Amino acid sequence: MSATSDPLTPSRSFPETQTVWISDRLSEGEAGLMLANGYVMESYVRPLSIYCSKIGLARSVRIDADDLVHGFFANRLSNSEYLKSWLTSGLRLRQWLRNGLHFYVHELRRQNATQLGLQIGGQALSEEVLSECAAHDHEFERAWALAVLDLAIKETKEELETRNRRDEWEMFWSHHVEGVPHAKIGERFQLSAAQVAQRAFAVGAQLRDALCGILRKDGALGSEIDVEVRSMMEVLNELRS
């Protein structure tokens, strides 16, 4: 047995525990549940809504995509057990919600069919939903990647603005997105290249922390963040055409 796996030998760091923010909120009763629901709606409405539009899910039940997602949230999150069930599902929250949305759409289709006196049958519901989900996996992951990055940008910028440091975002953006050298940015802000580099680096770290926080709430471990980011990049690359 290697030294690191020997239970009697102390490891260099504590084993990572999956601290799920939502789990903590759910243990706080009604107020915590409201916070958790609010977070879920705010963070997931956009990727789910875009996903619905892209794959025609909303059209299939003749509802506007935003309305469909809001209806889904109203229906599911009013049940206090819904998010608790996610905690034991082993799925990322985004996947859990997307599956739930597909089930919700099937319920709506059945309701519509019943009202029209039609029969829907054949394939088992879960099988049908899972195959529908699998077929559009990339579309959803792409919507998620852009949404999660948008949220992290928003959080980072708000934090910088609160501390009256909006300029630092501009430095970060000019260098990392527009490819402007630090020295040139420094001329604009009357700073040395090293000072700009330092500030841009700090903003990058802040953006990373914001992204990390969102991904952890989705169910990722802190140690998985780089892997998550790389897979988001892959998804964006795969769908370039």
Partner 1 sequence: MNSDPDLHHDDFGASRAVAMRLFCAILGPNAHPIDRLAARCAASDGAQWSSQVLAAFVTVPKSIESWIAWKDMAKTGIRESDLHAGDPLALAAFLQYLCAIAGALAFDGTVITKTSAVEIRRALNVIGPLIEPRWQDIFRRALVRLDQIKDIGLTK
**Least spacing, CB of residue 236 vs partner 1, in Å:** 5
235 φ, ψ (degrees, to nearest 5): -65, -40
Q: Are 140 and 51 in contact (CB under 8 A)?
A: yes
Please list every residue from 222 through 241 that binds partner 1, using CB under 8 A.
226, 229-230, 232-234, 236-238, 240-241
Position 149 contacts partner 1 (CB under 8 A): yes
Radius of gyration of the chain (CA): 22
Nearest partner of 83 among 149, 18, 151, 20, judged by Cα: 20
Binding letters toward partner 1, positions 162-201, x by CB under 8 A: -------xx-xxx-xx-x----------------------
**Least spacing, CB of residue 62 vs partner 1, in Å:** 23
Query: Out of 41, 208, 213, 224, which residue is the one contacting partner 1 (CB under 8 A)?
Result: 208
Of the candidate spans 74-82, 91-99, 114-122, 150-158, the one that interacts with partner 1 by CB under 8 A turns out to be 150-158
- Give the span between the Cα atoms of 45 and 51, in whole angstroms: 10
**Which one, 107 or 139, has the nearer CB to partner 1?**
139
**Least spacing, CB of residue 200 vs partner 1, in Å:** 8
**Least spacing, CB of residue 69 vs partner 1, in Å:** 14
**Which one, 36 or 147, has the nearer CB to partner 1?**
147
Tokens standing for 141? 């992951």
Q: Are 64 and 58 in contact (CB under 8 A)?
A: yes
**Which one, 45 or 83, has the nearer CB to partner 1?**
45
**Least spacing, CB of residue 163 vs partner 1, in Å:** 17
Please list every residue from 14 through 53 that binds partner 1, using CB under 8 A.
46, 50
Tokens standing for 90? 């082993």
Interface with partner 1 (CB under 8 A): 46, 50, 143, 145-147, 149-150, 153, 157, 169-170, 172-174, 176-177, 179, 204, 207-208, 211, 226, 229-230, 232-234, 236-238, 240-241
